[in-house]
Structure 1
């Protein structure tokens, strides 16, 4: 009995010891679990404490100035929208200046962050602290790039949104043959760049809008995207000239001068008034051309018809002046050639004066003879008087016939010039309705050099 009690007591002591050891182990495991949870919570709280500036500074510290490099070394940039505005068009130099706002986005995975590490979907980075894609304008003469803002927006997955202004001048040849009644199209080739292995490809959306405005006498009608191939995309800009200014300053003055020359045929050509007026018209038109020489468009291969119009007007004015001078000479001479002038002929006024003196002498002689009572002398005096009067009437008739012939030729010249002007107007209208001259604005692409651009695609911007 006593042994049984001792065994039971010993077994009870072992059970108590095991229970205490279990409680001790449970307490230790609880302490370890609570400390680990505290550390994990502290870590999570530190990640959550990083705000947008903290994320932005972390990306700036990476100094990602080079382009994102993927397996095929090709960077794809999406052009989401384009706003186009024509600033000016140089008609004489055939150059168009434009301002283009381009909204674009691309993906740079190194700029992204995991969702569980930060709750912010977007951050803002300085534009000069990351890589920015370059844009090539194939037909550009001069291009200046300015950022729309000094910051870019970056999304969680590394997508960057940015906008730039392109101030560009492109060479554009437009058919100016029918100037100032001209409509034409001018391309602005916006593309990426391509080398032997690497390339920058632009995916341009159809969202192209036109900012209303006009470049001087030129007006922009519309603009749309034209895609020849994946590497050749351009904006087709439709332009038109407001003809009012050119009509008032170029066409109307020349038409009025030609009308004044035509009406000048109503002036008598005796005395030289008409000749002086026509010489004044020729000099005025010449000065008009000299003043407008710097303002007339060249037109490139398609020279404006207005140049030929001014040449025609000048030739007609000079011919009209010369014919008026010739008719003035024909009214007093038998021929307009100086070599055929009769040298022995006395001027009609001098001849009349001489004959009047002779008549006075004959009258005196006749009176003396009549007083002397000689019938033969009286008859001779009367015959001389009759002969003088007949010669005088003959000279008057010749002079009148010369003037009549000159006026008949003058009416013929008036009808000739009037017919020429009417025919000229009909021909000009017919020519302007036909498409004679052709221009090719897409010849700036060179197939031999295509795909081999040496372009520095990293823009540098100054800090504000």
Structure 2
């Protein structure tokens, strides 16, 4: 009986110890474990032997929100999923059986991402919680709203294709640093925004310095809208000016039409002035195109005005009065004295012939013949001047037609060449690597 009692007591004692031991594991749930980790107040970065923190960027989602063509600013939204290890946040499996817990994001240290070429950056946590695994690995996600300065070659606007870097890095000081290990898992969200379209996003690592990496964003413009509102109206106005040579320049109808074209094109430029991109160092060829069109329209208008005067007065000299026809007695106020007296005598003789008071019929007939011959000569001179004006007008038409054809050929050749080049990575070349890393300014999520 004594041996049986001793064995029973030992079994009961071992069972009670097992219950107590198992109670130490199960009595604390995940919230309890999370509160224990929060009470540690691990708000500083994990301190390793070499004072270097490595953060793994597991994936990046990039989205272009807008692109300001006049100011050359690109606004983006970037979601970054990251992991890092903080050994102080780990726990033993024998003590706590939970593989992961969730902690408030503001109760532990989180890394701050640096955007080297950003004009303005706002960093927000994707959620207010982070996930911590048993081995101390923390999984976190942030959202970056950033604006970067990006100069794109707009020389061939609206047929534009360019690339913008978004430099995402850690920080580095003289002895300590935060290094980012960015995976190639970069995806694009929402490719089309207005006239600009994001074609691709690629992670690029600098060949000279591996700690410099950036996202290369490839952009292009949908040329349809700009073509319809900018290029097509100017081309149609130039075609209308070329076809206007079919109008007669007598009477001023062509002049009125050409003046209307010039005024319309001027108003067209004034309206579109705020919409035309500046382009920075690579000014769009469209500015020079509009200047060429305006010069050609004004030159065509001036030539038409000069031809009108040539056909009417027989001269292009300004401030010169029109020649007076001998039959218009009421307009004989601008000629010389001899011309006035000769015309007056001729008119008197004609009147005398009509009234029957002629003393010599032969002399009167001779004067009438001279008068008619002079009228025929003036008419022939007028016809000759008009014919010459039309020949000059035809030459002007051929001249403008040739100029427009050559202009189109030259324009196509220029747009095929890569004249202007831009460098959007010059923000890394302004200082040495040591000074650059020592003077890092990084953004906080507060």
Deviations 1:132-165, CA, capped at 9 Å, x for gaps: 1000011111111121111110000110001111
Q: Does 1:366 align with 2:349?
A: no
- The partner residue of 2:176 within 194, 198, 212 is 198
Which residue matches 2:335?
none
Is the CA contact (8 Å cut-off) linking 1:366 and 1:377 kept in structure 2? Answer: no
Q: Distance in 2 between matches of 1:248 and 1:348?
A: 57
Cα distance change, pair 379–203 in 1 and its aligned pair in 2 (3 A): same
Is the CA contact (8 Å cut-off) linking 1:132 and 1:458 kept in structure 2? Answer: no
Which residue matches 1:329?
309
Cα distance change, pair 159–125 in 1 and its aligned pair in 2 (3 A): same
Q: Does 1:235 align with 2:215?
A: yes
Is the CA contact (8 Å cut-off) linking 2:60 and 2:81 kept in structure 1? Answer: yes
Q: Distance in 1 between matches of 2:427 and 2:326?
A: 76
Q: Does 1:181 align with 2:168?
A: no
In the TM superposition, 1:63-462 aligns within 5 A as 63-228=41-206, 229-338=209-318, 341=320, 345-346=323-324, 350-351=328-329, 361-366=348-353, 369=356, 377-445=360-428, 446-448=430-432, 449-456=435-442, 458-460=444-446
Cα distance change, pair 347–134 in 1 and its aligned pair in 2 (3 A): farther
SS at the partner of 1:393?
Answer: helix
TM-score of the superposed pair, with normalisation by structure 2: 0.90
The RMSD of aligned alpha carbons is 2.6
Is the CA contact (8 Å cut-off) linking 1:131 and 1:458 kept in structure 2? Answer: no
Q: Distance in 2 between matches of 1:140 and 1:267?
A: 59
Is the CA contact (8 Å cut-off) linking 1:122 and 1:154 kept in structure 2? Answer: yes
Cα distance change, pair 319–152 in 1 and its aligned pair in 2 (3 A): same
Deviations 1:317-338, CA, capped at 9 Å, x for gaps: 0100111111111112243122
Q: Distance in 1 between matches of 2:354 and 2:436?
A: 114
* Number of equivalenced pairs: 432
Deviations 1:270-296, CA, capped at 9 Å, x for gaps: 111111111111111111111111111
SS at the partner of 2:431?
Answer: coil
Which 5+ residue runs of structure 2 have no aligned equivalent? 333-341
Q: Distance in 2 between matches of 1:66 and 1:275?
A: 80
Deviations 1:184-230, CA, capped at 9 Å, x for gaps: 11111110000111111000001111114312111111111110133
Which residue matches 2:339?
none
Query: How far off is 1:45 after superposition?
Result: 0.6
Is the CA contact (8 Å cut-off) linking 1:97 and 1:169 kept in structure 2? Answer: yes
SS at the partner of 2:412?
Answer: helix
Query: How far off is 1:428 after superposition?
Result: 0.3
Cα distance change, pair 116–189 in 1 and its aligned pair in 2 (3 A): same
SS at the partner of 1:346?
Answer: coil
Q: Distance in 2 between matches of 1:48 and 1:204?
A: 39
Which 5+ residue runs of structure 1 have no aligned equivalent? 1-22
Q: Distance in 2 between matches of 1:405 and 1:79?
A: 80
Deviations 1:369-396, CA, capped at 9 Å, x for gaps: 56xxx7x521222122112111111111
Q: Distance in 2 between matches of 1:272 and 1:78?
A: 78
Q: Distance in 1 between matches of 2:364 and 2:82?
A: 116
Q: Distance in 1 between matches of 2:152 and 2:351?
A: 88
Is the CA contact (8 Å cut-off) linking 1:369 and 1:377 kept in structure 2? Answer: no
Q: Distance in 2 between matches of 1:414 and 1:364?
A: 48
Query: How far off is 1:46 after superposition?
Result: 2.9
Q: Distance in 2 between matches of 1:348 and 1:232?
A: 92
SS at the partner of 1:451?
Answer: helix
Q: Distance in 2 between matches of 1:393 and 1:130?
A: 108
